[in-house]
Amino acid sequence: MQPPIPFGRRLQLASDTHVEIYWFESNGFLRATLGTPDGPQCAPVFRYRVLSGDSIELIGSDGIIDTWTGIRVEGDLLHAESGGKPKAFRIAREAIERSAQP
């Protein structure tokens, strides 16, 4: 069973102190922007693995980097637990940009 992850949409952490932005694709990959506002940021590409109907693992080159559990969507927010703490992500209505195909 697939968790309620909105593919091709921007998920932005509702936070004033941390930057976490994710774009999930149905092929098991996701792009991310991580860091702090007005500070260093990085833009890695990760894989993800579905664990259950409400849980996923985010996987980097060194292995599992995070696990989201209790994933649910309420309106334009995606809620999950990460490291035992609740997180809320705003779901953007615009789709990710696609590069032009030759």
| pTM of the predicted structure, to 2 decimals | 0.85
The pair phi, psi for residue 47, each rounded to 5°, is: -105, 160
Taking only the tens place, the pLDDT of each residue in 66-94 is 999 999 999 999 999 999 999 999 999 76
Cβ neighbours of 8 (radius 10 Å): 12
The residue extents of the domains of the chain are 9-91
| pLDDT tens figures, 1-35 | 678 899 989 999 999 999 999 999 999 999 999 99
| Separation between Cα atoms, residue 63 and residue 5, nearest integer Å | 21
Res 97: pLDDT: 52
The per-residue pLDDT for 94 is: 63
Q: Is the dihedral of CA 38, 40, 45, 47 positive or negative?
A: negative
Look at residue 99 and tell me whether its pLDDT is greater than 50: no
The domain defined by 9-91 folds into Lipocalin (2.40.128)
How far is CA 92 from each of CA 13, 41, 76, rounded to the nearest angstrom?
11, 20, 8
